Amino acid sequence: NAGVTQTPKFQVLKTGQSMTLQCAQDMNHEYMSWYRQDPGMGLRLIHYSVGAGITDQGEVPNGYNVSRSTTEDFPLRLLSAAPSQTSVYFCASRRHAVGGTPPGTQYFGPGTRLTVL
Amino acid sequence: LAKTTQPISMDSYEGQEVNITCSHNNIATNDYITWYQQFPSQGPRFIIQGYKTKVTNEVASLFIPADRKSSTLSLPRVSLSDTAVYYCLVGDPLGGGADGLTFGKGTHLIIQP
For residue A76, what pLDDT band results from cuts at 50, 70 and 90? very high
> At B34, which helix (H) or strand (E)?
strand B32-38
pLDDT at B13 over 70: yes
Q: Do A110 and B91 touch (CB under 8 A)?
A: no
Instruction: Name, in order, each residue with C-beta under 8 angstroms of A77's C-beta and a sequence gap of 6 or more.
Output: A18, A19, A20, A21, A64, A65, A66, A67
Q: Do A106 and B101 touch (CB under 8 A)?
A: yes
Q: Which of A 62-101 lie inside 8 A of B, CB atoms?
A: 88, 90, 92, 94-98, 101
For residue A100, what pLDDT band results from cuts at 50, 70 and 90? low
Mean pLDDT of chain A: 92
pLDDT at B2 over 80: no
Q: Kindly state the average pLDDT of the residues A29-40.
A: 92
Q: Kindly state the average pLDDT of the residues A59-72.
A: 96
Q: Kindly state the average pLDDT of the residues B74-79.
A: 96
Calpha distance B19→A66 (Å, rounded): 39
pLDDT at A18 over 70: yes
Q: What is the pLDDT of residue A41?
A: 81
CA-nearest of B35, B105, B25 to B65 is B25
- Find chain B residues with C-beta within 8 A of A88's C-beta: 41
For residue A99, what pLDDT band results from cuts at 50, 70 and 90? low
Q: Do B100 and A104 touch (CB under 8 A)?
A: yes
Instruction: Name, in order, each residue with C-beta under 8 angstroms of B1's C-beta and a sequence gap of 6 or more.
Output: B91, B98, B99, B102
pLDDT at A17 over 70: yes
